[in-house]
A and B are shown apart, each in its own frame.
Chain A
Amino acid sequence: MSIFGSNEKKAEENTTYFFNADKDTVNQSTLAKDIKIHGSVEAKDYIEFSGSITGTLKSSTVNLKPSSYVKGTVTGDTVTVEGEVDGDIQAKDVYIKSTAKIKGTIRYTNIDIQNGSIINADLFYSS
């Protein structure tokens, strides 16, 4: 019920958000299930994303939970996909879980794919 709480829920405009950019606390950003974003989200360390985004997600570690939907680009060192991605994934380590649905392009150095995932994509390996 706090003022800040209601402000955060209006994060649905075409803006770039920097989460926890200058906090010393645990640099973890959680974007809940019912959040819809048009634009780009950037975090320093860790994003856990369950919502839906049209645009760009960027963080050192990106965790796309089963209910997530991304149309656009996901960039990070480590990207774990449990939800749906329509677009580009670019990361050193890509983990694709059994619930994932991916369409587009995956650029990676290491990839791990679980049985059950549905992938229709072009894969590009680079060392």
Chain B
Amino acid sequence: MDDPVVDSFPQDQDNDSKTIMVGSGVRLEGRIDGAQNADVAGTLSGTLKSSTINIDSTGNFSGDMSGNDITISGQVEGDISSENYLTVNQSATVKGTIEYASLQVSYGAKIQGTLRHRGSVHSYSPEPVEQPTENDQVSE
């Protein structure tokens, strides 16, 4: 508290404000949009849009997710759309359609569904295309 050597802290706070975390044991249903980071260790069903998505080994997701960099270690059922790196770890189980630019799957992961490669890598824009006025809004 004495020394004000916290130069980098405001940046971290800025990132925190666009983070959604679903802790293990928590169940959440709905539509998440405009997030920068999403960390799911619990159960989430619905639609998830975030630049970075991480489904922990205890995490369970069903629905549609889209993002830039996505890492999956838990269970996912539905559609995954990644514009950059998609990493599927050994403990993961994925069912559904996967659209990816760059995919890495570790030995042991279970994938059931369709893989589709994007022709080129685009940068991810967090605002919804159909409603350009409602930036950074988390809807119910």
Which residues of A approach B to under 8 Å, CB–CB? Answer: 93, 96, 110-125
Is B107 in contact with A119, judged by CB distance below 8 angstroms? no
Q: Which 4 A-B pairs have the closest CB atoms?
A: A113-B105, A112-B107, A119-B115, A115-B104
Is A125 in contact with B110, judged by CB distance below 8 angstroms? yes
Q: B103's closest neighbor in chain A, by CB?
A: A113
Determine if B71 is an interface residue (Cβ-Cβ < 8 Å).
Answer: no
* Per-residue contact bits, chain B 89-128, to A (CB 8 Å; 1 contact, 0 not): 0000000000000111111111111111100000000000
Measured CA separation A121–B107 after assembly (Å) = 18
28 contacts between A and B (CB under 8 A): A93-B107, A96-B105, A110-B107, A110-B108, A111-B105, A111-B107, A111-B109, A111-B111, A112-B105, A112-B107, A113-B88, A113-B103, A115-B85, A117-B103, A119-B103, A119-B115, A119-B117, A120-B115, A120-B116, A120-B117, A121-B114, A122-B113, A122-B114, A123-B111, A123-B112, A123-B113, A123-B114, A123-B115
Measured CA separation A120–B107 after assembly (Å) = 19
Q: Which residues of chain B (41-85) have a CB below 8 Å from chain A?
A: 85
Which residues of B approach A to under 8 Å, CB–CB? Answer: 85, 88, 102-117
Residues of chain A with a CB closer than 8 A to B108's CB: 110
Residues of chain A with a CB closer than 8 A to B85's CB: 115
Residues of chain B with a CB closer than 8 A to A110's CB: 107-108
Residues of chain B with a CB closer than 8 A to A120's CB: 115-117
Q: A96's closest neighbor in chain B, by CB?
A: B105
CB distance from A89 to the nearest CB of B (A): 12
Is A125 in contact with B103, judged by CB distance below 8 angstroms? no
CB distance from A56 to the nearest CB of B (A): 23
CB distance from B104 to the nearest CB of A (A): 5
Q: B93's closest neighbor in chain A, by CB?
A: A125
Measured CA separation A123–B115 after assembly (Å) = 7
Query: Which of B104, B112, B113, B115 interacts with A114 by CB under 8 Å?
Result: B104
Q: B116's closest neighbor in chain A, by CB?
A: A120
